[in-house]
Amino acid sequence: MRYAMAIDTRKCVGCSDCVVACQTENDVPIGFCRDWVTETVDGTYPNVSIELRSERCNHCDNSPCVRCCPTGASHFEDGGIVLVTHNKCIGCGACIQSCPYEARYSHPDGYVDKCTFCIHRVRKGENPACVSVCPTKCMYFGDLDDPNSEIVNVLKNRKFKALSPEAGTKPNIFYLT
Amino acid sequence: MKEELFVSGRNIPNIDPYLNIWHWQIPIYLFLGGLAAGILFLAGVYTILGKEKEMQATVKWAPFIVPFALIIGLGMLFLDLKHKLYFWQLYTTIRLQSPMGWGAWVLMIMTPISIIWSASYLREVFPNWDWKFKFLCTFEAWVIKNRKLIAWPMAIYAVILGIYTGILLSAFNARPLWNTTILGPLFLVSGMSTGAATIILMSKNHEERKLISRLDLLFIAVELFFIVHMIMGFLAGSQVQIDAANLFLGGQFTVPFFVFVIILGLLFPAVLEILELIGFKMPIIIPAILVLLGGLIFRFIMVEAGQITRYLY
Ligand code: SF4
Ligand code: SF4
């Protein structure tokens, strides 16, 4: 099993519903977020292109954050989901330094927090909160090892990219372009 | 033209707009670690060479600072933690891939060695010192007899500790300014140089001071070479590394880096030490203090600047 997400940058309208859904679902403290939406504008008027991306932890296959954690608080769960065990985390900040995507933050309670792919929902067979709430249905969540899954299908038929693959972390969030 | 912004208004403390999760504690931790490594290395080497008589400050007095430096260093590491109550878990896990874990363990081994080393010289400072318990006296006698034997692992561990202070940073691929293998050796020689400076400050023997300041000159030369090497390496690297080097070559850290680290921390003390060597009378305290300050500021700049370098997608 290898969980991943594909996000359609052509359908996304930047409404930030995914951000709010995550904050509500996961009790993210005010002023923090586990996912966020960026807008990249390329070119000068009238030749401009805009790309909207909903970003979060990439649940990397080769994740530096798991490697550098001195206590094993950052670890892999089934399906390659990267999680932080709160009462094992000492808050040293090494994993925050190690993430090329700035996907982690220091929770006001001291431990490090980030996207969990809503593992509590996924284990019940549901989609992560961000995916299920998206009004344009631009996000696909699923198992890359299952040839019949929607995500494998969409990645087969569309052009896609990952963010900063040169950072070498083997990210698992793919952006359909 | 390409511009990126957060549509969802992300502004997380210490992460946006620039990462600043490690504050003053980490540079001080690295500085004290390097200083301790420098002193213990020189103490070990001169003990192995059988020079205890000639190099009193190196072998006996300067190492008294080390246990304090290491304990304060560990204290700094502790202060940096945000989930402090769970600190003990650093010592219930061994994770070879984690530089943070390495550091905690290396310090845990180094601190007792340095305490034992200094304790064995305690009676030379306070002749009336009494260890109270018999087994402590026996242990002391054993240590005094086997100093050369202890000096070997001590010197080797000192090198590991010194290199470690650089590796803690260089292991982070996500921070291009740190992600260079030269950082280990660079922080090691810089630590040696600050250790030598401390010895110079503590020594009352002219010959010893001269010898150590000559060594310091060598450390400074190697350090300068490594810094040039590091920047050349960045400039020959990928875009993120070129951007990292440019922080020092015209970017926002140019002035503090060249003024405090290169000129005041390395070149100026080197010139003073050379003048002293060719016979001019120099207050040797000045280059020593400049080297110490330069080493401290160097670590502050590296930690601060490294955090703002990143992969931009
Ligand atoms: S995106 Fe960052 S936090 Fe998430 S797995 Fe990759 S390196 Fe770790
Ligand atoms: S902050 Fe917590 S999760 Fe991150 S590396 Fe340190 S102990 Fe591990």
**Residues of A with Cβ-Cβ distance to B85 under 8 angstroms:** 110
For residue B79, is pLDDT > 70? yes
Residue B236 is predicted with a pLDDT of 96
Q: How far apart are CA B34 and CA B223, in angstroms?
A: 13
pLDDT band of B124, cuts 50, 70, 90: confident
For residue B278, is pLDDT > 90? no
**How much is the mean pLDDT over chain B?**
93
Q: Are B208 and B60 a contacting pair, CB within 8 Å?
A: no
Per-residue pLDDT of chain A (177 residues; tens, 9 = 90+): 999 999 999 999 999 999 999 999 999 999 999 999 999 999 988 999 999 999 999 999 999 999 999 999 999 999 999 999 999 999 999 999 999 999 999 999 999 999 999 999 999 999 999 999 999 999 999 999 999 999 999 999 999 999 999 999 999 999 999
For residue B262, is pLDDT > 70? yes
Tokens coding A11: 């359908």
Closest Cα to atom 6 of ligand 2: A92
Contact (CB<8Å) B93/A42: no
Residue found by looking up tokens 């070879």 in the block: B96
Q: What is the 8-class DSSP label of residue B58?
A: I
Counted domains in chain A = 1
Contact (CB<8Å) B8/A99: no
What's the gap in Å between the CA of A148 and the closest CA on chain B? 31
For residue B271, is pLDDT > 90? yes
Contact (CB<8Å) B83/A89: yes
Q: What is the 8-class DSSP label of residue A167?
A: G
Which ligand number lies closest to the CA of residue B97? 2
- Look at A143 and B284; give whichever has higher pLDDT: A143
Q: Domain range for residue A62?
A: 3-176
For residue B1, is pLDDT > 80? no
Contact (CB<8Å) A99/B14: no
Which is it for strands A139-143 and A112-113: parallel, antiparallel or unpaired? unpaired
Residue A160 forms contact with B (CB below 8 Å): no
Q: How far apart are CA A128 and CA A118, in angstroms?
A: 5
Q: Are B55 and B67 a contacting pair, CB within 8 Å?
A: no
For residue B100, is pLDDT > 80? yes
Peptide bond into B17 cis (omega under 30): yes
pLDDT tens digits, B184-222? 999 999 999 999 999 999 999 989 999 999 999 999 999
Quick check: helix, strand or coil at residue B189? helix
- Domain containing residue A121: CATH number: 3.30.70.20
φ/ψ (deg, to 5) at A119: -55, -30
The strand pairing partners of A82, in sequence order, are A76
* Cβ-proximal residues to B52 (8 Å cutoff; 6+ apart), any chain: B46, B59, B60, B147
Peptide bond into B269 cis (omega under 30): no
Residue A43 forms contact with B (CB below 8 Å): yes
Residue found by looking up tokens 């769970």 in the block: B86
Q: Are B241 and B176 a contacting pair, CB within 8 Å?
A: yes
Quick check: helix, strand or coil at residue A5? strand
Q: Are A103 and A57 a contacting pair, CB within 8 Å?
A: yes
Q: Does the domain at residues B25-308 carry the CATH identifier 1.20.1630.10?
A: yes
Q: Are A173 and A55 a contacting pair, CB within 8 Å?
A: yes
Tokens coding B107: 């310090």
- pTM for the model stands at 0.94
Tokens coding B49: 């060479």
Domains of chain B, residue spans: 25-308
Tokens coding B197: 């400076």
Residue B313 is predicted with a pLDDT of 59
Mean pLDDT in residue range B275-282: 84
Q: Are A61 and A167 a contacting pair, CB within 8 Å?
A: no
- Look at B313 and B249; give whichever has higher pLDDT: B249
pLDDT tens digits, B34-52? 999 999 999 999 999 999 8
Residue B127 is predicted with a pLDDT of 85
Q: Are B210 and B57 a contacting pair, CB within 8 Å?
A: no
pLDDT tens digits, B133-185? 888 888 988 999 999 999 999 999 999 999 999 999 999 999 999 999 999 99
* Cβ-proximal residues to B214 (8 Å cutoff; 6+ apart), any chain: B273, B277
Quick check: helix, strand or coil at residue B307? helix
Closest Cα to atom 7 of ligand 2: A89
